[in-house]
Structure 1
Amino acid sequence: MDSFSGSSRGGFAPRGGRGARGRGGRAPFLTKTRETNPDLEKHPLGCLIKEFGSPDLGLNPVDLAKISDCQYVASYNWLNDEVPTIVIPGKPPQWTPLQEPQRLKEDSGQYFRDPNAAMYPDYPMAPVVNAVLETDSEFDAARTDVFACGSTLGNLLRFARGIDKAFRFNVVVIGDTVFFMRKDNDPREVIKDVRGFGHTFPEAYTTWEHSVKGSETHQRIIRYKFGGFSCLVRFESDGYIPDSSAVTNTTPANTAVGQGDLFQAFQGATISQQPTINKLGSLKIKQGGSPVPQKSIFDLKTRSGKYKKDIDMSDILPQLWINQIPNFIVAYHDGRGLFEDIRVRDVSDDVQAWVTDNSDGIRRFATLLDKIVDIARSNSDKLLEVYCPGKEHLEVREQYGDGAHALPADLRDGLDGSKDGDGGDISDGDEYYDSDEYGFDNRSDDSSEELDYTACSAHDCGYCGKCTY
């Protein structure tokens, strides 16, 4: 199998209209990233509890510094709705490449940095937990040590590897489970000056199926063991390939959409929208879609092919490892939106090679995770946060002021096993369910130095939004 060589990801943009959506991972690539550092004036730091540097991290035993027993747990889609609405289990968009390349318009509009926070700023983790409890009424929170997302774990991995990047996230303990919650300067922060084709390309080359029509993004939760802990990890999926065994180095012809669907595809690809600002309050929960196996999930990047240089995978591979994504699509354009070189790959071997080459950094990552979990559990009565000003040191602090809880009271009770007697809906006025026109639908609708703004760096690039790794 040929190997790529790195760059990375970012963004979300709620959009209106038929088939429109915005999903993370398709921000423009910047050879010089525009990172958004934590705003300490807007969000002051609380009291220091512990401080240490990456040189202080010992090497965790090799047998613990690996991901094992990965399993799909739950998933959901955000809908483009005035009321915050998720569909469980939802479904990622299907890879449906065009039969003939068509020139796409450049991205335009505005994009949220984090869809979960933007859609439901009071409790961004609530949709995740709702999806888990709704999927598995017998879910045992006591089996989970860490509940995190690809962004928070990716930040810790970077620090353990000595990569210079400032970040912060909140840490809350519920029962014995430690929650890591990303913390941006503003939950509804949008990025201006959009450039590239990182959103119009997937809008033309993937399709939301009927059972999840109106979706904006697909969020997945997986469970695996790492560092001696049972971890639940949420991440955003760019899409799925119907037959993952058919992954090749070129665009699969058997999934191309017909010309009758071409106009509809481009309707979504050329819309310039403003982000939807949802009303605070209720979280509406619907049933729809169907689970997709992890082996079919892909991550997607676009890049200019102007300089005939393969995409650099050095920042992408650790992200694929954390999220356990086996497939990768890179699409090269001619600089003006014509994509004639699209490569669809199973990169499992490349990810494993990266793991072997970076074993020491991964072992320090396991040690760091162990230290933070221990500090959090020892201070379970406090709301904490992790703050890293750069590669030199990392701090665990109390959250300033009142702080931010991970979940509303009813969901905290739900995780402790105090759900309603019927083991079904979780509803106290903050969430409500609507079967509506949705229903479980298991059928597949198989029907040089110049800035390059068409694939994101793993560092927050400041372009499209949510750099999820």
Structure 2
Amino acid sequence: MATSRGGSNLHWRNSNPATDSIRGGSAQRGIRGGRGSRGGRGGRGGGNASTPKRDPPPEPDIVAHPLGELLQTIRISDLSLEAIKTSKPTDITDLKYVASYNWMEGDAPTIMIPGKPPAWTPLKQPLRLKEDAGTYFRDPNGAQYPRYPAEPAVQAILNSNPTFPTSEIDIFACGSTMGNLLRFVRASSKAFRFSVEVVGKTVFFVRKENSPKEVIENIHGFGHSFPEAYTTWEEDTKGSSSHQRIVQYNFGGLVCVMRFECDGYLRDGTNQVDQKLSSSATSDENDNIIVQALKNTSVSHVFSTTDESLSIKTGGNEVHQQSIFDLKTRSGKYKRDIDMSDFLPVLWLKQIPNFIIAYHDGAGLFRDIRVQDIRNDLRVWGQEHKDDIQQLAVLLNKITKIATEDTRGLLEVYCAGHDLEVRRQHGDGVHSLPHSLRAEWEGMSDEAEESDDSLGATNGHGRSNFSYGDEDENDSSDEDKDFTACSADTCGYCGTCSY
């Protein structure tokens, strides 16, 4: 449990060099010129200590977006039996940073590579914040670039490391898709669906909402206004709206690449900027300075309405994995600590080592803020949930096997109850990457395989028994298709139509 130090409004637990260096922070919030929006962070929010006030996510709309042919139904009971027989390791090992990028504000979809998370810069004195107000998308990547939501992550990887060994990667996923699968094996899942595509030797899991413009309804609390006040986009990343991080690790006999949004990072002592309030200003004047700065900060996310290609710029710098954190806010008026069992599973998947929980008085004043090193908590959670983790490993292996054995390699995972269904994508399907980028990822896999004389002949996709079918038919240019009739009711969320 956190303990207070020297009467500060910040509470600390499990101190480490990263957290011990942030006792101060920038109180002069007027220096935040160029601060970007922080939309899309639906996982934080306000509410009471146990249940955030937020509408549940909508059910997948299978009328507007029909399901394809059913290939296999997977039940938790089946996974339990197979988990007993398997010897696949249940630990996450060989964790490494791969790449990162920031989404930039503006009408045209633009990322900065490698970017950098916003820095934790707590107020020295608590200030009453305004409740969240704005538009927040469920899937920031899909909202920013609906045409190919996975493209920015792949571009970040290949731009950061042109010789990245794509042939070694079994799964390319995000925190949402992997989190849904983990919740499924723990029998606590809500309805979800996501796209699956085989590219080279890699199975891509791509998040799929009913629409890329789907927003989080009825937001209450301070889960967006708090990070606006307590974290800062630094000079080299001004104009950013979110930071996306990509890591790689081994799990269940598979090499997995995981992309997730990072809430911020803890600066070390050498980089800490300690901005103090002017000694000539009164307390009220200082509060007015901060309030005005916060008023000038927008926390809505801008939806990209253009059909432009993704723009890439260079900026920022890589941040060590041990410095990043996840952030949540809760009401503290009921004097109940947050239930970490709600968050540890996904934090374990993302391997985020630090967690900040900020409690407010019910009206936006935060006096209890705890910066925690949760690495030991993640280890304990993994040990206590070995059965669930083993079943997740079995499930991932089953999905990848089904996908790689399918003749087209364009599938989707759908779950609306106790069973999980693996289906072919309806109609022509939707690719996760543009043709040129798919070819580059596949080509790098092919080059790796061609250097191994022990392998048999492949079909150009890095697999001896795999093809997309008629590639020209399924990947023709937009000029060959008529998208003008699409509407809100008929659009299949292809990402390329006029709607």
Q: TM-score, normalised by structure 1?
A: 0.81
Question: How far apart are 1:264 and its partner, in Å?
Answer: 6.0
| 1:275 to partner: Cα distance | 3.8
How much does 1:272 deviate?
Answer: 5.3
Number of equivalenced pairs: 401
Task: Report what 2:426 is aligned to.
Answer: 400
Give the aligned partner of residue 21 of structure 1: 37
Structure 1 counterpart of 2:162: 137
For the 8 Å contact 1:201–1:269, the answer to whether it is kept is no
- CA distance in 2 between partners of 1:79 and 1:277 (Å): 11
1:37 Cα deviation from its structure 2 partner: 1.2
- Cα deviation for residue 26 of structure 1 reads 2.5
2:205 equivalent to 1:156: no
Match of 1:121 among 146, 154, 170: 146
Q: Which consecutive residues of structure 1, in runs of 5 or more, have no partner in the other structure?
A: 5-15, 247-253, 420-429, 431-469
Determine the C-alpha separation between the residues in 2 that align with 1:136 and 1:330.
Answer: 35
Aligned CA distance change for structure 1 residues 273 and 224 (closer, same or farther; 3 Å): closer
Query: Are the aligned partners of 1:140 and 1:417 in contact in 2 as well (CA < 8 Å)?
Result: no
- Classify 1:270/1:102 alpha carbon distance in 2 versus 1 (closer, same or farther; 3 Å): farther
Find the residue that maps to 2:190 and give its secondary structure: coil
Cα deviations across residues 4-31 of structure 1 (Å, max 9, x unaligned)? 9xxxxxxxxxxx9731321524333445
Residue number among 67, 70, 93 corresponding to 1:48 in the alignment:
70
CA contact (8 A) 1:169 1:385 kept: yes
Instruction: Report the CA distance between 1:274 and its aligned residue.
Output: 5.1
Structure-2 change in CA distance of 1:192 and 1:160 (3 Å): closer
Amino acid at match of 2:319: V
C-alpha deviation, 1:140, in angstroms: 1.6
After superposition, give the CA deviation of every residue in 1:93-120 in whole Å (9 maximum; x if it has no partner).
0000011111111110111111110010
Change in Cα spacing, 1:257 to 1:34, as seen in structure 2 (3 Å) is farther
User: 1: distance between equivalents of 2:374 and 2:307?
Assistant: 41
Correspondence for 2:83 among 44, 59, 76: 59
Do the aligned partners of 1:200 and 1:269 also contact (CA within 8 Å) in 2? no
Partner of 2:426: helix, strand, or coil? coil
**Counterpart residue type for residue 406 of structure 1:** S
Higher RCO (CA-CA < 8 Å; seq separation 6+):
1
Assess, with a 3 A threshold, how the Cα gap between structure 1 residues 320 and 341 changes in structure 2: closer, same or farther.
Answer: same
Q: Which residue of 1 aligns with 2:258?
A: 233
8 Å contact 2:88–2:390 — kept in the other structure? no
- 2:64 aligned with 1:38: no
Moved more, 62-71 or 327-336: 62-71
Cα-to-partner distance string for 1:414-456 (whole Å, 9 max, x where unaligned): 212469xxxxxxxxxx9xxxxxxxxxxxxxxxxxxxxxxxxxx
Tell me by how many angstroms 1:192 deviates. Answer: 3.4
TM-superposed CA distance for 1:271, in Å, is 4.3
Partner of 2:303: 277
Q: CA deviation at 1:266?
A: 5.7
- Contact map agreement 1:329 1:344 (CA 8 A) in 2: yes
**% of aligned pairs identical?**
52
- Secondary structure, in 3 states, of the residue corresponding to 1:325? coil
For the pair shown, the structure with the greater C-alpha radius of gyration is 2
Task: Give the whole-Å Cα distance in 1 for the aligned partners of 2:337 and 2:295.
Answer: 25
The 10-residue stretch of structure 1 (255-264 or 118-127) with the greater mean CA deviation from structure 2: 255-264
1:316 aligns with 2:343: yes
- Provide closer, same or farther for how the CA distance between residues 302 and 269 of structure 1 changes in structure 2, counting only shifts above 3 A: farther
Structure 2 residues without counterparts, runs of 5 or longer: 3-11, 14-31, 279-285, 446-476, 478-499
Whole-Å Cα distance in 2 between the matches of residues 180 and 330 of structure 1? Answer: 30
Distance (whole Å) between structure 1 residues aligned to residue 388 and residue 269 of structure 2: 31
CA apart distance, 1:43: 0.9
Q: 1:269 to 1:201 in 2, by over 3 A?
A: farther
CA distance in 2, matches of 1:264, 1:413: 50
Helix, strand or coil: the match of 2:319?
coil
1:259 matched residue in structure 2: 277
User: SS state of the match for residue 366, structure 1?
Assistant: helix
Aligned residues: CA RMSD: 2.5
1: CA distance, partners of 2:371 / 2:240: 24
Cα distance, 1:100–1:264 mapped onto 2, change above 3 Å = closer
Identify if the C-alpha distance between structure 1 residues 229 and 380 changes in structure 2 by more than 3 Å, giving closer, same or farther: farther
Question: What is the rounded CA distance, in whole Å, between the counterparts of 1:229 and 1:324 in structure 2?
Answer: 16
Q: Aligned-pair distance for 1:191? A: 2.6
- Letter matched to residue 227 of structure 1: G
TM-superposed CA distance for 1:41, in Å, is 1.1
Name 2:281's counterpart in structure 1: none
1:64–1:269 Cα change, 3 Å? farther
